[in-house]
Structure 1
Amino acid sequence: MGSFSSTYLDIEYQAIPRVLAAHWRRGVMPFELQRGYKAMLDEAVSRRCRFWLINLSGRASGVSAADLQWILEEFFPQLPLRLRRPVYIAYLMAPHQLAGSLADPNVPNAAYYDDRSYRIERFTVQEEALAWLQDCRQQDAKIRRRKTA
């Protein structure tokens, strides 16, 4: 059982592969979305985990423009402040969800995150998402070693 479980979201820390895993179980109201994301961040801080897998496949629809704005402008900027280093988030989506997010002009493309202290990628296959997170972990470790050398 995860540290947070509700009718709309389950969160658990997976020691192997050292990832915070969150699974949205259904579409949510704005207050549930905010509560869920805040619970993810609190769990990540308690575990000092900067590598997240967020499964959106249980949601029938995407988020509203207002919810997306909250995520982009209020939530994501908190990540490096609370976790003190870059954060990596792999979103796992059903193929139709990914197509919808790529077509939505309100959803930033991957280049949007290039100069930020958090990285976001979208996937339809969990193994690919986990491989990306592992690669991010390795790249992050190389950068930290160079800074301390």
Structure 2
Amino acid sequence: MLLASPTPLVDISYRPDLHIVVVRWLSVTTDDETRQVYRCLGQLPELQCRFWLLDARRRPSSSPAVTNWIFEVLAPQLAQRLGGPIYLSYLISPSHLAAAESFQEESGATLGSRMPYRLNYASQEGDATDWLLQAQRTEAAGAAQAITDPLPAIS
């Protein structure tokens, strides 16, 4: 399902079969346009979804100011509103993968962290999608376990 985008430089769609939002940058965007795209993702009523595949192969990395805004301002707001961490799986070119993985290690944005987001980088769309699907399964298993765990004994 293709959704309205704040700029013609980005396609936004929702895959209801996978419960994943797909954002494809078609060209370079300014910092303001990039912020508009991310704000749009948090405001579209159709997108009450925390699992995002962001195809950034056609644009350079975001500026440090935009990157900080995404992770320090937007992600915490969205995680609170949507009831859990935002899963961001960036599809990037192989030439940018090493730098992105280094950023990921430095930021501590791993699946087990307490941050309001989880972060993944991949150079193949299948890998990016698989990571999101695995995160969904992990969350579902955790929720199921919480429901089936016996209540502690009252003494």
Question: Normalised by the shorter chain, which TM-score bucket?
Answer: 0.7 to 0.9
1:33 aligns with 2:34: yes
Equivalent residue number for residue 74 of structure 2: 75
* CA distance 1:25–1:46, shift in 2 (3 Å): same
Q: State the superposition RMSD in angstroms.
A: 1.9
For residue 143 of structure 1, what is the amino acid of its counterpart? G
* Contact persistence 1:79–1:118 (CA under 8 A): no
- 1:109 counterpart (81, 105, 112): 105
1:94 aligns with 2:90: no
Once the two structures are TM-superposed, the CA of residue 116 in structure 1 deviates from its matched residue by 1.4
Q: Secondary structure at the match of 1:47?
A: coil
Equivalent residue number for residue 51 of structure 1: 51
Structure 1 stretches lacking a partner, 5+ long: none
Equivalent residue number for residue 13 of structure 1: 14
* Contact persistence 1:57–1:97 (CA under 8 A): no
Normalization by structure 1: what TM-score? 0.86
Equivalent residue number for residue 130 of structure 1: 129
Identity %, equivalent residues: 26
Tell me how far apart the structure 2 counterparts of residues 23 and 62 of structure 1 sit (CA, whole Å). 14
Normalization by structure 2: what TM-score? 0.83
Equivalenced residues, count: 144
Once the two structures are TM-superposed, the CA of residue 40 in structure 1 deviates from its matched residue by 1.4
For residue 8 of structure 2, what is the amino acid of its counterpart? T
Tell me how far apart the structure 1 counterparts of residues 67 and 86 of structure 2 sit (CA, whole Å). 18
Q: Secondary structure at the match of 2:24?
A: strand
* CA distance 1:122–1:7, shift in 2 (3 Å): same
Tell me how far apart the structure 2 counterparts of residues 20 and 117 of structure 1 sit (CA, whole Å). 17
Once the two structures are TM-superposed, the CA of residue 4 in structure 1 deviates from its matched residue by 2.2
* CA distance 1:72–1:80, shift in 2 (3 Å): same
* Contact persistence 2:10–2:25 (CA under 8 A): yes
Runs of 4+ aligned structure 1 residues displaced above 6 Å come to none
Once the two structures are TM-superposed, the CA of residue 20 in structure 1 deviates from its matched residue by 0.5
* CA distance 1:47–1:30, shift in 2 (3 Å): closer
